[in-house]
Amino acid sequence: MSNVHFAPLADHVGVEALNIDLNAIDDTAFGALRQAVADHGVLFVRDQQLTPEQHIAFARRWGGIDVNNYFPANGGYPEIAEVRKSETQTTNIGGGWHTDHSYDQVPAMGSILLARETPPSGGDTLFAGMGAAFDSLSDGLKDTLRGLRAVHSADHIYSTGGIYAQTDQAADLKGHDIRTRAVHPVALRHPVTGRELLYVNPAFTLHFEGWTREESLPLLQYLYEVGMRPEFQCRVQWAPGSLAIWDNRSTWHFAMNDYHGHRRLMHRITISGEPLE
Ligand SMILES: O=C(O)CCC(=O)C(=O)O
Ligand SMILES: [Fe+2]
């Protein structure tokens, strides 16, 4: 039995591991953390003292590392992406509901985000549980979704003509010429728990396969409204040394942008996933 203690963050998503030192956990405790992420979608831990090397070593326990193509790398550590906003910037990264890397053929399993500098207040991150969102749908709609696949891309976000190019994050981001397209099931079975999940997201999903965007939007908008219901969410409040690990298949997240005039710096390592079909 593992002696890691957990406290839920909300009814349907999120759990916090208490009194734990990620530099000193044995394989049993690590197994409990892995199970917690599978079961709750996001695991939150406070007060960690991790150097960049220790952050990378911890990430490698979870699996391979996917280097993000768009975010600036942290100095000497290509595995670590910087998610940052300065005192003078007004746009943040991740300030809309999304799941990371759904535009990849094999989307990342998850991300490990470590807070380095946080504003005096604000800058929380919201997470939403896509298992609970799927469960809440009618049997008829669930059956329809089981027969659908959706097309995902990041081009409208990160390319030269994309959303960030118009903002004060443009100079920090890279990969403007990369083109992405992936097709994934809309009702996904979680590879570990087998739980059914709603796998479309407002940022990267373009349309249902074989449907036009115009035909897809009404149903997508409905699914997004369900996914955004406050009852399926939890909220994480960061301080330097806080760390979150989330599962991109079973959760969405949203970085609040309510701290203008202050710096916020997060270090993110993205963990490789497995094919979704
Ligand atoms: O900064 C945050 O809280 C989250 C940003 C984000 O979307 C990400 O790191 O994937
Ligand atoms: Fe994100």
pLDDT tens column, 172-214: 777 788 788 999 999 999 999 999 999 999 999 999 999 999 9
Question: Is 263 tagged catalytic?
Answer: no
Decide whether any atom of ligand 1 lies within 6 Å of the 151 Cβ. Answer: no
Q: d(Cα 38, Cα 78) in Å, to the nearest integer?
A: 27
Contact 130, 107 (CB under 8 A): no
The CA-to-CA distance between both ends of the chain, in Å, stands at: 33
97: phi then psi, degrees, rounded to nearest 5: -65, 130
State residue 162 phi and psi, 5-degree precision: -85, 180
Alpha-carbon span 161 to 232, nearest angstrom: 33
Domains of the chain: 53-271 (3.60.130.10)
Per DSSP, what are the bridge partners of residue 234?
A: 127
What tens digit of pLDDT does each residue of 147-182 get?
Answer: 999 999 988 888 788 888 788 878 777 778 878 899
- Closest-lying ligand 1 atom to the alpha carbon of residue 92: 1
Rounded (to 5) percent helix, strand, coil in the chain: 25, 30, 45
Q: Whose CA is nearest to atom 4 of ligand 1?
A: 255
Cα 20 to averaged position of ligand 1 atoms, centre (Å):
23
Residues 6+ apart with CB under 8 A from 26: none
pLDDT tens column, 27-51: 999 999 999 999 999 999 999 999 9
Instruction: List the structure tokens of 61.
Output: 């326990």
* Residue 250: half-sphere exposure toward Cβ, Cα within 13 Å: 25
Instruction: Please tell me the predicted confidence (pLDDT) of residue 193.
Output: 94
Query: Is residue 267 annotated as part of the catalytic site, yes or no?
Result: no
Ligand 1: does its nearest atom lie under 6 Å from the Cβ of 267? no
- Provide, rounded to the nearest whole percent, the portion of the chain with pLDDT above 90: 85
Mean local confidence (pLDDT), 13-22: 97
Q: Which is nearest to 228 in space by CA: 208, 200, 207?
A: 200
Q: Is the CB of 271 under 6 A from ligand 1?
A: no
Q: Which position has the token pair 């993205």?
A: 270
CA 150 to chain CA centroid, Å, is 18
